[in-house]
Homo-oligomer: A and B are copies of this chain.
């Protein structure tokens, strides 16, 4: 994948040359980006807003596998996972900085591919690349992105604002990104055994896209604003539903009841989980990377959201003493466990 017909060595440009090369087509679009790449720091001006900052580091071999992740998709996704954190605060991402460590295994063309994916994500979400750093690495690729966004101070939604009897809601559907990863890992294993076999991805397009090209739920944040709903708490689903619910319960000092039958699962996700002898519910609870929004709302807002096609009420918040429980389809109650998807992978 990293073999190019035309390959330009990173060393031919040098560190300053590479940054300059990668950012020369980057244009600044937001009025709040007073100064982008090219000085000691970027300069940003938000009028009467608070500033939101979040950062994520992605490491080759830990967070991504370049044998099946195209660099352009990786660039796109690495931006999306950061933007998602700002939407999860009910804010609007406006700027990012990008730091890359690249080993000499990568060519200038490979760095361009990665950057092209980042630029695509930025254009789609109206975000400016205002700074960054490129450096060499002794092994592999490390991507560190910091996103900066704005919000009205009294509209920022934290994890700790949920109240008893609030409804627990989630956007989209869950578990797809995790099942997409299982398909890609299976095909990688088959390819290793026999490189002549073409990958069999038929009928798996949705879940593979969930894994390789996730979106951030800007639309959900906008929709809630249009409906005049201010969630009482919110978090993005990056580490699996159970883990995120636990964060809200812990920080809001509450318990919850989560209804298994309400958890939104796409048919493709469900069927693939069954093919892999995995419990579909467990895949949503412990599989990660869906980047949907999990939020709580006052029960008085129920009428506003009950007919929204892309939001599902999956439970409600309770007194902390009641614990955090999954109500199974059978009606029985089980303590919710946040294993994280590391645990799932080790099964």
Listed in ascending order, the chain A residues whose CB lies under 8 Å from chain B are 14, 34-35, 38-46, 50-63, 85-86, 88-89, 91, 95, 97, 99-101, 130-133, 135-140, 142, 144, 146-149, 151, 153, 156, 158-160, 234-236, 251, 340, 342
Contact = CB atoms under 8 A, between A and B. Distances in A.
A45 B133 CA distance: 26
Contacts of A95: 53
A97 B43 contact: no
Contacts of A140: 138-139
Contact of A148 (B53, B138, B139, B235): B53
Of A54, A58, A62, most buried by chain B (CB within 10 Å of CB) is A54
Contacts of A142: 57, 59, 101, 137, 142, 144
Nearest to A32: B51
Contacts of A137: 59, 62, 142
Number of copies: 2
Contacts of A52: 41-44
Nearest to A34: B50
A63 to B, nearest CB: 7
B40 A101 contact: no
A39 B159 CA distance: 6
Nearest to A35: B158
A interface: dominant SS: strand
Contact of A62 (B14, B45, B136, B146): B136
Nearest to A151: B43
Contact of A132 (B55, B100, B130, B148): B55
Nearest to A149: B41
A57 B101 contact: yes
Of A51, A86, A142, A159, most buried by chain B (CB within 10 Å of CB) is A51
Nearest to A293: B40
A58 B34 CA distance: 27
A35 B55 CA distance: 14
Contacts of A42: 52-54
A97 B62 contact: no
B41 A45 contact: no
A43 B35 CA distance: 21
